[in-house]
Amino acid sequence: MKVLVTGGAGFVGSHIVDALVENGHETVVVDNLRSGHEGNVRSDVPVHNLDIRSPELARVLESERPEVVCHHAAQTTVKGSTSDPKYDADVNIMGMINLLQGCVSAGVRKVTFSSSGGTVYGNTQNLPVKETEPLDPVSPYGITKVAGEQYIEYFASNFDLKYTIMRYSNIYGPRDHASSEHVITVFIDRLLAGKTPVIHWDGEQSKDYLYVADCVAANLAVLTAGDNEVYNIGSGQPLSVNQIFRELTRQMGVDVQPEYGPKRAGDVRAFYLDISKAQQQLGWTPRVSFEEGLARTIQSYRDATATHA
C-alpha cells in the first residue's frame, strides 16, 4: 500500500519509513526538517519539505493519494510546550486539523497517530496504566496530544476515515539526538563527550522504555489492524534512571559517578504502561531486551561520532 509519513525525517519516523520500504510499501515523507534530518531518509523515498500547518499539505495529499497517513510530525517536548505553549498548540492541534482535513479531501483510508503514554494520563497512581485510565494531562504537550486524539475521533465519526492511536512510552534508539531531552540519549551524548551525566532527584524514579524497532513493529501492525482503537505501546516494565546509568556505564566500559541534581517539576516516582491490549489485539509484543537495545544504540552513536570526527 502507499503510506505517507509526517515527520518521516525524524527519529522514530525515519525508522518507520525504512521498515515500510523494506516491507514493500510505497512510501512518501512530509517533514519541515526543523528537527528531522533529510539524511535520515533513504534516497529512494521522496521528501516533501513542508510544515503540516501549510495550506500546501492538502495539495501534496491530493497528488500523492496515500492509503494510510502515519502522523509523527509534532512539537515533541514537554519543556518546549511549557516555554512556548502557543507554538506547541499551533503545531500539534492546528497542524493536526490541517492534516485531517487534507486526508478527508484526498480520500485517505486511515490515519495512525503517535500520542504520548507518558503525558496524557497525568500523575496517575494506577500502575501499570491501562488505556481506560482517565486522561489528565499536566503539561501543554500532554494537553495537545489529548486534543489531537479527540480531533481524530471526531473526524473518524463524521467522515469516511479510520484511525489507530498509539500512546508511546519513552522510545530510544539510533537517530535520536540530545535535544530531545530523552535521558538515554542525553547520557550517551555526555559520556561520549567525556562529560558527567546529571541525574535529577535520587535516580530511583522509573519509567517505561521501548527500543525503536519495537515501536516500528507496532506501526506496521496497525496499517491493517486496530481500526478505531487506542493502544499503549511500551515495554510494560519500569526502569529507574539509576538502572539505566549503571547499564550504560557497564556497556560503555567507563567508571563514572553521576552528579545528582534537584527533582524536576512534574517528575513522577513511577510510570509504566499496560500493553496487554496491543499484545492481544495486534499480536504485537516487544522483542528487543533493554540490554540489547542499549547496545545497538551505543554502537550507533559511536559510529556517528567516528564518522564526524
**Between 307 and 289, where is the model more confident?**
289
Instruction: Verify that 165 and 22 share a domain, yes or no.
Output: yes
Tell me which residue range forms the domain holding 7. 2-171+210-233
302 confidence band (pLDDT: 50, 70, 90): very high
Instruction: Verify that 197 and 227 share a domain, yes or no.
Output: no
Helix/strand/coil for 139: coil
Instruction: Verify that 86 and 152 share a domain, yes or no.
Output: yes
pLDDT at res. 200: 93
**Separation between Cα atoms, residue 231 and residue 302, nearest integer Å:** 34
Encode pLDDT of 103-116 as tens digits: 999 999 999 999 99
Instruction: Verify that 161 and 197 share a domain, yes or no.
Output: no
Encode pLDDT of 170-180 as tens digits: 999 999 998 88
CATH code, domain with 287: 3.90.25.10
Q: How many domains, in total, are found in the chain?
A: 2
CATH code, domain with 139: 3.40.50.720
- The burial class, CB within 10 Å (0-12 / 13-18 / 19+), for 224 is exposed
Residues taking part in catalysis: 141
Residue finishing a domain among 233, 248, 267: 233
- What is the residue whose three cell numbers read 530511583? 204
309 confidence band (pLDDT: 50, 70, 90): low
**Between 86 and 309, where is the model more confident?**
86
Whether residue 128 has a cis bond before it, omega within 30° of 0: yes
Instruction: Verify that 121 and 27 share a domain, yes or no.
Output: yes
Instruction: Verify that 227 and 92 share a domain, yes or no.
Output: yes
**Separation between Cα atoms, residue 309 and residue 307, nearest integer Å:** 6
36 confidence band (pLDDT: 50, 70, 90): very high
pTM for this model (two decimals):
0.97
Instruction: Verify that 103 and 220 share a domain, yes or no.
Output: yes
Query: Which residues lie below 8 Å from residue 166, measured CB to CB, with a gap of 6+?
Result: 112, 113, 114, 115, 218, 219, 222, 230, 231, 233
Instruction: Verify that 162 and 278 share a domain, yes or no.
Output: no
Instruction: Verify that 193 and 134 share a domain, yes or no.
Output: no
pLDDT at res. 40: 97
Instruction: Verify that 61 and 108 share a domain, yes or no.
Output: yes
**Separation between Cα atoms, residue 41 and residue 44, nearest integer Å:** 8
Least confident residue range of 114-123, 200-209, 259-268 = 259-268
Instruction: Verify that 39 and 64 share a domain, yes or no.
Output: yes
**Separation between Cα atoms, residue 202 and residue 240, nearest integer Å:** 10
State the average pLDDT over residues 11-35: 97
Instruction: Verify that 58 and 91 share a domain, yes or no.
Output: yes
pLDDT at 214 over 80: yes
Encode pLDDT of 135-180 as tens digits: 999 999 999 999 999 999 999 999 999 999 999 999 999 999 988 8
Q: Measured on CA atoms in the order 39, 247, 200, 137, is the torsion positive or negative? A: positive
Q: What is the DSSP string of 218-276?
A: HHHHTTSS-TTEEEEES-SSEEEHHHHHHHHHHHHT---PPEEEPPPTT--SB--B--H
